[in-house]
């Protein structure tokens, strides 16, 4: 990890451009939306907060989802009848996912 001006360089280059007052090239993405808020009102959303959001999202989105997928697969494979039922009736999948999210434990 590298720090520029005390900010975690999750958005390489943008921090420096902002410090230099150069406008970054906004794109149709969440980072640009966050930076647009900062450019408009730096107190409303600081670069540290943007870095923190961008840093934590991959974890919030990845660990949870892979855990749920792994848990669901394990639960289905533990009982071949359960697996066969879901394969034969795909409409059962939403309930199987919800059930898996409610069950304790992580896939290991």
Question: What own/partner pairs with CB < 8 Å and gap ≥ 24 does 11-16 have?
Answer: 11/35, 11/50, 11/51, 11/54, 15/47
Does 64 interact with ligand HEM (rule: CB under 6 A)? yes
Q: How many CB atoms lie within 10 A of CB 52?
A: 13
Does 92 interact with ligand HEM (rule: CB under 6 A)? no
Q: Which stretch binds ligand HEM (CB under 6 A): 2-10, 41-49, 59-67, 81-89?
A: 59-67
Does 65 interact with ligand HEM (rule: CB under 6 A)? yes
Binding site for ligand HEM (CB under 6 A): 57, 60-61, 64-65, 68, 101
């Amino acid at each position: 990890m590298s720090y520029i001006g005390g900010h975690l360089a999750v958005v390489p280059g943008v921090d420096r451009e902002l410090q230099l007052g150069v406008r970054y090239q906004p794109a149709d993405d969440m980072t640009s939306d966050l930076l647009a808020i900062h450019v408009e009102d730096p107190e409303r959303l600081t670069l540290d907060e943007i870095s923190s959001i961008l840093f934590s999202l991959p974890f919030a989105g990845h660990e949870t989802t892979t855990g749920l997928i792994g848990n669901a697969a394990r639960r289905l494979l533990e009982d071949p009848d359960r697996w066969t039922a879901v394969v034969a009736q795909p409409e059962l999948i939403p309930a199987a996912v919800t059930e898996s999210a409610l069950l304790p434990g992580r896939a290991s």
